[in-house]
Structure 1
Amino acid sequence: MRYAARVGYMGTAYSGWQRQAMGTGVQEKIEESLAALEGKPVTVTAAGRTDAGVHACGQVISFELEKEWRPDKLVLAVNFRLPPDIAVLEAARVLPGFDARRHALWREYRFFIWHGNALPPFLHGRVWWNRFRWDFEEVRRACALFEGDHDFRAFCKTAECPERTVRTIHTASVTRKGRLAVFTVRGNAFLTNMVRIMAGNLNAVGRGKKSVEWLKGLLGGQARENSAMTAPAEGLYLWKVSYGEGTPFGPYRVE
Structure 2
Amino acid sequence: MRIALGLSYRGAAYLGWQSQPSGKAVQDHLEAALRRFVGEGVRTVCAGRTDAAVHALQQVVHFDSPVERAPFSWVRGVNSFLPPDIAVLWAQAVAEDFHAQKSAISRRYRYVLLASAVRPAVLESLVGWTHARLDLERMRAAARILIGRHDFSAFRASQCQARSPVKTLHEIEISCQGNTWNFDFHANAFLHHMVRNIMGCLIAVGSGAQDTEWLQNVLMARLRSLAAPTFMPDGLYFLGPHYPVEFGLPEPARALPVLLA
d(CA) in 1 for partners of 2:161, 2:245: 32
Match of residue 28 from structure 1: 28
Could you tell me whether the CA contact under 8 Å between 1:241 and 1:248 is conserved in 2? no
Match of residue 174 from structure 2: 174
Shift of 1:23: 5.5
d(CA) in 1 for partners of 2:246, 2:116: 38
Match of residue 202 from structure 2: 202
Match of residue 70 from structure 1: 70
Match of residue 134 from structure 1: 134
Shift of 1:221: 4.6
Partner amino acid, structure 2, of 1:197: N
Partner amino acid, structure 2, of 1:94: V
d(CA) in 2 for partners of 1:43, 1:33: 12
What value does the CA root-mean-square deviation take over the aligned residues? 1.8
Partner amino acid, structure 2, of 1:219: L
Shift of 1:244: 2.9
Could you tell me whether the CA contact under 8 Å between 1:45 and 1:62 is conserved in 2? yes
Q: Residues 163, 47 of structure 1: CA spacing in aligned structure 2 closer, same or farther, 3 A cutoff?
A: closer
d(CA) in 2 for partners of 1:223, 1:93: 43
d(CA) in 1 for partners of 2:197, 2:189: 15
1:30 aligns to what SS in structure 2?
helix
Shift of 1:135: 1.2
Could you tell me whether the CA contact under 8 Å between 2:140 and 2:174 is conserved in 1? yes
Q: Residues 75, 23 of structure 1: CA spacing in aligned structure 2 closer, same or farther, 3 A cutoff?
A: closer
Could you tell me whether the CA contact under 8 Å between 1:200 and 1:230 is conserved in 2? yes
Structure 2's unaligned 5+ residue stretches are 252-261
Match of residue 245 from structure 1: 245
Match of residue 121 from structure 1: 121
1:4 aligns to what SS in structure 2?
strand
The TM-score, its normalising length taken from structure 1, stands at: 0.93
Matched, 1:217 2:199: no
Match of residue 2 from structure 1: 2
Stretch of structure 1 that moved more, 57-66 or 220-229: 220-229
d(CA) in 2 for partners of 1:234, 1:2: 33
Partner amino acid, structure 2, of 1:186: H
Could you tell me whether the CA contact under 8 Å between 2:12 and 2:52 is conserved in 1? yes
Q: Deviations over 1:5-45 (max 9, x none)?
A: 11010111111100012451100100011111221110010
Q: Residues 170, 246 of structure 1: CA spacing in aligned structure 2 closer, same or farther, 3 A cutoff?
A: farther
Could you tell me whether the CA contact under 8 Å between 2:120 and 2:129 is conserved in 1? no
1:241 aligns to what SS in structure 2?
strand
% of aligned pairs identical? 38
Superposition misfits of 4+ residues, deviation over 6 angstroms: none
Could you tell me whether the CA contact under 8 Å between 2:18 and 2:25 is conserved in 1? yes
Shift of 1:124: 1.2
d(CA) in 1 for partners of 2:90, 2:159: 35
Total equivalences in the alignment? 251
